[in-house]
Amino acid sequence: MEAWRDKACEYFPELRDLIKEQTVPMDLWIELYYKLVRAYDKQPLDEQWIGRLYEYAAWCLAQPDTGDAKTDPSSAAAFAFIEDLPRDQRIADDMYRWVSLETFDACEPLLRHSLSDESYKKLAANFRRKKKEFSGSPRL
């Protein structure tokens, strides 16, 4: 099994069958993002699962570029996860708990992708305000 799939199975053993069905990391990240959206539909939030998701994203983003966007875990996490975080307001409002300020700043082009300048400015201001008041450790 490829390293991205092995690592995903370590983080999400309950999703082993789904993970094994995916042929490229991009497809897996699309599935994981949809699962994240559904996780925010449930109360209380499964913070342990959400934390594992952000940790897996950090692992993927740290992987070397394979030269092929379809097989590159870093590109998949960037374009099928980070880029989509602002699309769901609940997730965007909660990013401060999971994402470091450094990562947020480094991911600005990805986060801006689907937002107007005004919307990005609101997202960034909200993130920074909440981050200042938060004492927890980010996962990404």
pLDDT in tens, 34-86: 999 999 999 999 999 999 999 999 999 999 988 887 789 999 999 999 999 99
Least confident of 47-51, 66-70, 88-92, 128-132: 66-70
- Report the half-sphere exposure of 135 (CA within 13 A, side-chain side): 0
Cα–Cα distance measured from residue 94 to residue 78, given in angstroms and rounded to the nearest whole number:
18
Nearest-5° Cα angle at 42, 34 to 51? 65
Q: Can you give the pTM of this predicted structure?
A: 0.94
Give percent of the chain with pLDDT exceeding 70: 99
Do 40 and 91 contact (CB within 8 A), yes or no? yes
Q: What average pLDDT score do residues 7-11 get?
A: 98
